[in-house]
């Protein structure tokens, strides 16, 4: 398979990504999309003009050969997909520039008489010389327009190539007609200048589009080609493609880590800025996770490989960014509808222009010239580039700052967010609570041992805090252990059936906590979360445990930034009411809902959506999966390999709360660029076409304006690279 990449089927579903060649405007992308959607088994098709990539989803009936054949039937070619570079490679751009320069040299003598006339001089080339200079420009430099027009017409559609080929041919043909009649004033220069300017505009556009993929190129450059592996006691260099899970990597100081893994031996600091946006090196030691592509500092590390190939963090990030850049924003649907009828309408307007000037008695010469201006000024290139180029740059800027945006829908939803809900532990707080107090009638170590027995093997932060505090005691064996989501755990220890959990669990189980209620209230008033240890059969509480977890350093700044952006903040937590409100008051949250089960969080989000709010939910991407899915936008906040890249609408590669408002700010900046581009593109055509029809634009001016329009749209999108978060430093 040379031109397609097919993901592994999920059930009977398949996803294809194919590079497309030969597209010149939005009408081309729309034509291919319609052809693909008519294929048996295709559920969805999206063609992106800026990236020149088509994405196709379908069932088992859809094959790579069928997709390629459908694109070929539509009059276009296919190419291998390479996420590391732009559609046009550097060599092709250089060859294109040489062709344009040759065309410009041939065209310059044709426009020289006009230039000389501006300074009061007089110069006139003979008709035969004009024909000799214009012919190679028309039929050699202009050949791509003729080929593209023929393919489009053969496929039953019309595109930019049709407009340019028809317009320049009309100017060239009119000149031949006048030349045959002995006319002196010819229009070869109009046809030649239009071709040179349009080709130059496409070259500038292609060069600018290369810059929109810089984020992907930077990520791809992190892939090492070789790794030093220790096998059977000997170190040997092997290709990265040959690595296996479980291999032991030897990572020397200054070397790039070849694959995701866990540090088996050694201590160092690793630079993973291009992967997570974290500007400072991260200290690592035994048992810490490291990401393939990060650069080791000054220590020697032995790393046990945990993921390779497509499952590695770097591959997943590249895949997510590439798919986001190729996705189509909802606002693009309006553009697609317009593009589908745009070129045919322009052809009708051009015919009406000819008819109007003839009826006005002006003759064929001005009628044809004004129709040519209409055809050239109407090319819908800028319209097709307005949205995808802004999305490409916006998602790329996000990736550089540790904000991975899954698709254009997530980007648009982020910009429209009115309420942002947060989980507490690990999102607003550091996520490493400490056991601060135990109030019990039992010996303290006995209570600790019982609690530890129930919590061993659990992955909850409070469980880790209990186990850490009980490192000096021996936990007895436990049986019948079971997890009670959102409430706690239960199990039999030394013959007693015990419960360890929150107040709701105690209430549901009918446990009498009155003897410990005052102590629990004191702990909660101090901002602690509390859990009860209870004997389920005796229905009495044995101990109350208090846990303290510090707010993240930037959380107040993040909430203030959200408030400045007009986004209300809300905490949804299973923690007790008093502790939750203590934290909310400390960090400046707008609202808090406490003592919630996972289903209650979903209900709270649904209620907000029912009031017309656009809700984003920020959590760790694992424990908060139901709430993340229920929200209009799920934002997974985590670090390293724990981030839920595959499922979150937006994944924050660091646990910095400032990234949440930064994502909103970036999404809104991208949306502004999309709107600016669309306004420019629409106004350009809406004002330019009638102006050309009434004789306000010459064909040469129309050609220059059309080329300038596309370049302006791409350049405006590229200005997003200067985006900086206004409310803090996220690097």
The per-residue pLDDT for 118 is: 61
Instruction: Note the pLDDT tens digit of each residue in 515-558.
Output: 999 999 999 888 888 999 999 999 999 999 999 888 999 999 99
Q: Where on the phi/psi map is residue 631: left (φ > 0), alpha (ψ -120 to 50), or beta?
A: beta
Strand 234-239 and strand 226-231: the pairing is antiparallel
Q: Is the pTM of this model over 0.85?
A: no
Instruction: Give the DSSP per-residue string, 474-535.
Output: PPPPEEEEEEETTTEEEEEETTEEEEEE-HHHHHHTT-B-HHHHHHHHHHHHTT-EEEEEEE
**Whole-number percent of the chain with pLDDT over 90:** 25
The per-residue pLDDT for 11 is: 40
Give the Cβ contact number of residue 457 at 10 Å.
Answer: 9
The per-residue pLDDT for 12 is: 41
* Better pLDDT: 616 or 341: 616
pLDDT confidence of 114, banded at 50, 70, 90?
low
Q: What is the mean pLDDT of the chain?
A: 83
Contact yes or no for 648/636 (Cβ under 8 A): yes
In CATH, the architecture of 223-316 is: Distorted Sandwich (2.70)
Closest CA to 110 of 5, 201, 191, 178: 191
The answer regarding whether domain 434-548 maps to CATH 3.40.1110.10 reads: yes
Contact yes or no for 450/604 (Cβ under 8 A): no
Instruction: Note the pLDDT tens digit of each residue in 49-85.
Output: 777 888 888 888 888 888 888 888 888 888 877 654 4
The per-residue pLDDT for 87 is: 45
For residues 730 and 660, what is the distance between their CA atoms, to the nearest angstrom?
Answer: 10
The answer regarding whether domain 4-79 maps to CATH 2.30.110.10 reads: no
The per-residue pLDDT for 339 is: 67
CATH of domain 403-429+551-663: 3.40.50.1000
Give the Cβ contact number of residue 240 at 10 Å.
Answer: 17
- Is residue 423 annotated as a catalytic residue, yes or no? yes
pLDDT confidence of 4, banded at 50, 70, 90?
very low
Query: Does pLDDT of 399 surpass 60?
Result: yes
Q: Give mean pLDDT, residues 364-377.
A: 87
Instruction: Note the pLDDT tens digit of each residue in 444-460.
Output: 999 999 999 998 777 77
- 7: tokens are 């993901």
The per-residue pLDDT for 666 is: 94
Contact yes or no for 329/300 (Cβ under 8 A): no
In which residue are the tokens 């993340």 written?
628
For residues 19 and 606, what is the distance between their CA atoms, to the nearest angstrom?
Answer: 40
Instruction: Note the pLDDT tens digit of each residue in 306-364.
Output: 888 777 777 777 777 776 666 666 766 667 677 667 778 888 998 999 999 999 988 88
The per-residue pLDDT for 214 is: 66
Structural domain boundaries of the chain?
4-79, 223-316, 403-429+551-663, 434-548
Q: Give mean pLDDT, residues 408-428.
A: 89
Catalytic residue among 336, 423, 575, 632: 423
For residues 570 and 591, what is the distance between their CA atoms, to the nearest angstrom?
Answer: 5
Instruction: Note the pLDDT tens digit of each residue in 136-148.
Output: 999 999 998 898 8
């Amino acid at each position: 398979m040379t031109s397609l990449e097919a993901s592994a089927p999920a059930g009977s579903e398949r996803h294809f990504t194919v590079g497309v060649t030969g597209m010149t405007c939005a009408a081309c992308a729309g034509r291919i999309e319609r052809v693909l959607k008519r294929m048996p088994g295709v559920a969805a098709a999206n063609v992106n003009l800026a990236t020149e990539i088509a994405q196709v989803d379908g069932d088992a009936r859809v094959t790579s050969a069928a997709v390629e054949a459908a694109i070929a039937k539509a009059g276009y070619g296919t190419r291998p997909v390479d996420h590391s570079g732009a559609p046009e490679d550097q060599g092709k751009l250089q060859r294109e520039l040489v062709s344009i320069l040759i065309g410009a040299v041939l065209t310059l003598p044709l426009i020289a008489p006009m230039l000389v006339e501006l300074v009061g001089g007089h110069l006139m080339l003979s008709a035969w010389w004009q024909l000799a200079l214009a012919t190679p420009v028309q039929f050699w430099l202009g050949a791509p327009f003729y080929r593209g027009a023929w393919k489009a017409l053969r496929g039953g559609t019309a595109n930019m190539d049709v407009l340019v080929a028809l317009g320049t041919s009309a100017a060239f043909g009119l000149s031949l007609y006048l030349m045959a009649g002995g006319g002196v004033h010819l229009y070869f220069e109009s046809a030649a200048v239009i071709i040179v300017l349009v080709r130059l505009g496409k070259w500038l556009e292609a060069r600018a589009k290369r810059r929109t993929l810089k984020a992907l190129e930077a990520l791809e450059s992190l892939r090492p080609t070789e790794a030093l592996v220790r096998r059977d006691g000997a170190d040997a260099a092997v290709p990265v493609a040959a690595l296996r899970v479980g291999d032991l990597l030897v990572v020397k100081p200054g070397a790039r880590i070849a694959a995701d893994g866990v540090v088996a031996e050694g201590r160092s600091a690793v630079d993973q800025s291009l992967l997570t946006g974290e500007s400072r090196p991260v200290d690592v030691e035994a048992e810490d996770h490291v990401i393939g592509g990060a650069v080791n500092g000054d220590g020697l590390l032995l790393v046990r490989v945990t993921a390779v190939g497509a499952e590695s963090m770097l591959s997943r990030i590249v895949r997510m960014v590439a798919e986001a850049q190729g996705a189509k924003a909802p606002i693009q649907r309006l553009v697609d509808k317009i593009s589908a009828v745009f070129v045919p309408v322009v052809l009708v307007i051009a015919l009406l222009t000819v008819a109007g000037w003839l009826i006005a008695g002006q003759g064929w010469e001005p009628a044809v010239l004004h129709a040519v201006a209409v055809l050239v000024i109407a090319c819908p290139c800028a319209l097709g580039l307005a949205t995808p180029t802004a999305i490409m740059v916006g998602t790329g800027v996000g990736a550089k700052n540790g904000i991975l945006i899954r698709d254009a829908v997530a980007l648009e939803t982020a910009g429209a967010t009115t309420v942002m809900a947060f989980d507490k532990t690990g999102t607003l707080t550091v996520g490493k609570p400490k056991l601060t107090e135990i109030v019990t009638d039992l010996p303290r170590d006995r209570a600790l041992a019982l609690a530890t027995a129930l919590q061993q093997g659990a992955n909850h932060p409070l469980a880790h805090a209990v186990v850490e505090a009980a490192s000096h005691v021996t936990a007895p064996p436990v049986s019948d252990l079971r997890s009670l989501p959102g409430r706690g755990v239960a199990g039999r220890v030394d013959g007693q059936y015990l419960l360890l959990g929150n107040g709701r669990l105690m209430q549901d189980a009918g446990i009498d906590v009155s003897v410990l209620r005052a102590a629990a209230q004191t702990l909660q008033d101090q901002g602690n979360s509390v859990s009860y240890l209870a004997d389920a059969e005796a229905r009495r509480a044995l101990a109350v445990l208090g846990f303290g977890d510090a707010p993240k350093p930037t959380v107040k700044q993040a909430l203030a930034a959200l408030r400045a952006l007009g986004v209300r903040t809300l905490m949804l937590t299973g923690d007790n009411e008093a502790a939750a409100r203590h934290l909310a008051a400390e960090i400046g949250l707008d609202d808090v809902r406490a003592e919630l089960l996972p289903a209650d969080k979903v209900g709270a989000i649904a209620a907000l959506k029912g009031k017309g709010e656009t809700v984003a939910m920020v959590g760790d991407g694992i424990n908060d999966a139901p709430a993340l899915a229920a929200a209009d936008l799920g934002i997974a906040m985590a670090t390293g390999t724990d981030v839920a890249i595959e499922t979150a609408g937006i994944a924050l590669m660091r646990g910095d709360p400032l990234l949440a408002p930064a994502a909103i700010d970036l999404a809104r900046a991208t949306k502004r660029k999309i709107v600016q581009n669309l306004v420019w593109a629409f106004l350009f055509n809406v004002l330019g076409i009638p102006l050309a029809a009434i004789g306000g634009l010459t064909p040469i001016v129309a050609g220059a304006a059309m080329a300038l329009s596309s370049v302006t749209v791409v350049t405006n999108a590229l200005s997003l690279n200067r985006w900086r978060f206004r409310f803090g430093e996220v690097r």
